[in-house]
Amino acid sequence: MTRHEDRPQDECGVFGVFAPGEDVARLTYYGLFALQHRGQESAGIAVSDGSQIMVFKDMGLVSQVFDEATLNSLTGHMAVGHTRYSTTGSSVWRNAQPTFASTPRGSLALAHNGNLTNTDELEDLLAQRLGRAAKGQVPHKEEMDSSNDTHLVSALMALDDEPLEDVARNLLPRLVGAFSLVFINENTLFAARDPQGVRPLVLGRLDNGWVVASETAAIDIVGGTFVREVEPGEMLRIDESGLHSTHFAPPRPKGCLFEYVYVARPDTVISGRRIHNVRVKIGKILAEEAPADADLVIPVPESGIPGAIGFAAESGIPFGNGLVKNSYVGRTFIQPTQSLRNMGIRLKLNPLRDVIEGRRLVVVDDSIVRGNTQRQLVRMLREAGAAQVHVRISSPPLEWPCFYGLDFATRAQLIAPGLSVDEICRSIGADSLGYVSLEGLIRATHVSKENLCRACFDGEYPIPVPHGAATEMGLNAEEAPASCSSYSNAEFDRGEDES
């Protein structure tokens, strides 16, 4: 698979369920289907029956990895599941999740959504605990032999002979970055969210148990009832005695703003707001801030649809479907030829000539990463007879890479840095180009600016980013954000526990 594709790449989806007497493997399977959009490289499920944990995972989509025979073999009373898009580590089988590790107390299976930024310090910590002199020397066990941060967390949790809850409570304050974790031992399901709550994590109730998931849509699909979001800095323990809450760090909310733009499903609820409604509101604000004289508003399916609905409603320009999406074109592990790769968007979208011919179009999309998609789209619409193509984007220009779980390109590969909106417009060949403002986007979420991570738009990183990571992302010393710094344990105080 080609890395840094010209779309914002999702991160991962996590799911956990504790439900004695239920088919937890199948519930997890359905939950992962609801989270497929968050990761399409690999999928996995770990199930515990109280005496042992069984894990099955493989490369591919959820429907490709699991079949009836596999699900029937995964029996137990609780499970965790994962869909993966790699943001750290390569796209290979050993990096598929959930991870599995043997511990002095039994077994551990763990799934992670996010990205840690202090892996060097964690590798040092692991080396110290292993009694090794050199940094980065990890156990040569298959479950710990990987290049991603999830296995590093698993390795650290697997070393101590204390109860897993105590191990986690001591380790979680030392993790820096974005993390939403679900993990199990033989008898208990745990869920934890970083103190900033960058990546979403929610709690739901089943008739005979509990469920945690990256999005409320996954709770809906398994017939659960949404209870609340897991709080930033909170760890949940779920066992036969019920639900228990502990705070391992004080909350400093900085939810990812891009979840509202693109990542989350439109039927998901974040901070009390349905994502579809937020995106419609963004479209309305976009029409106010960047109006266009046109005959028809069309979306780039699927993520551009709510914004186009809002733009049409606010502007009074009719809404229409001018592009047909091929639903069967997604990620593939068969690398296309260069000629097919150059065709790009034509493999996924086809214009309806009868709808767009001779018309002045407003084309609403969620974001522009490198500009290749919009460039090909504008060309295709002109070839199909569009009189004018006015591109409108439901997010501000993407100026900075993400260190917290989204696979944005390096800054040098983003189109926006160093170019004006008019220059980007000329680059993609549109008649006009307009972005929603950062203030307008934030207003649509109904969340205060101080409680949102906006780093990909304004370069203000809420969590320390190592200078080494910034360099790898293509930021030189002058460009590195002011908040980039080395990690210090003193920066993160541990919170009080509560039952």
Domains and CATH numbers, the chain: 12-253 (3.60.20.10), 274-451 (3.40.50.2020)
Q: Is 456 annotated as a binding residue?
A: yes
Indicate the pLDDT class of residue 396, thresholds 50, 70 and 90: very high
Lowest mean pLDDT among 92-101, 207-216, 437-446: 92-101
Show Cβ contacts of residue 89 under 8 Å, excluding neighbours closer than 6 positions: 95, 146, 147, 148, 149, 150, 151
Find out whether 279 and 272 touch, Cβ atoms under 8 Å: no
Rounded to an integer, the average pLDDT of 455-478 is 74
Rounded to an integer, the average pLDDT of 15-27 is 98
Show Cβ contacts of residue 458 under 8 Å, excluding neighbours closer than 6 positions: 399, 400, 438
Q: What would the DSSP string read from start to end of 149-174?
A: HHHHHHHHHHH--S-HHHHHHHHGGG
CB atoms within 10 A of CB 268: 26
What's the burial of 269, exposed, middle or buried (CB within 10 Å: 0-12/13-18/19+)?
buried
Residue with tokens 């994502």: 275
Q: Is 303 annotated as a binding residue?
A: yes
For 200-230, write each residue's pLDDT tens digit: 999 999 999 999 999 999 999 999 999 999 9
Q: What's the whole-model pTM score?
A: 0.88
Nearest residue to 57 (alpha-carbon basis) of 77, 37, 39, 76: 39
Find out whether 235 and 183 touch, Cβ atoms under 8 Å: no
pLDDT, residue 473, reads 57
Judged against a pLDDT cut of 70, whether residue 333 lies above it is answered with no
pLDDT, residue 129, reads 87
Q: How far apart are CA 13 and CA 31, in angstroms?
A: 9
pLDDT, residue 93, reads 60
Q: How far apart are CA 286 and CA 291, in angstroms?
A: 7
Q: Is 366 annotated as a binding residue?
A: yes
pLDDT, residue 131, reads 78
Q: Is 365 annotated as a binding residue?
A: yes
The catalytic residues are 12
Rounded to an integer, the average pLDDT of 481-488 is 39
Indicate the pLDDT class of residue 475, thresholds 50, 70 and 90: low
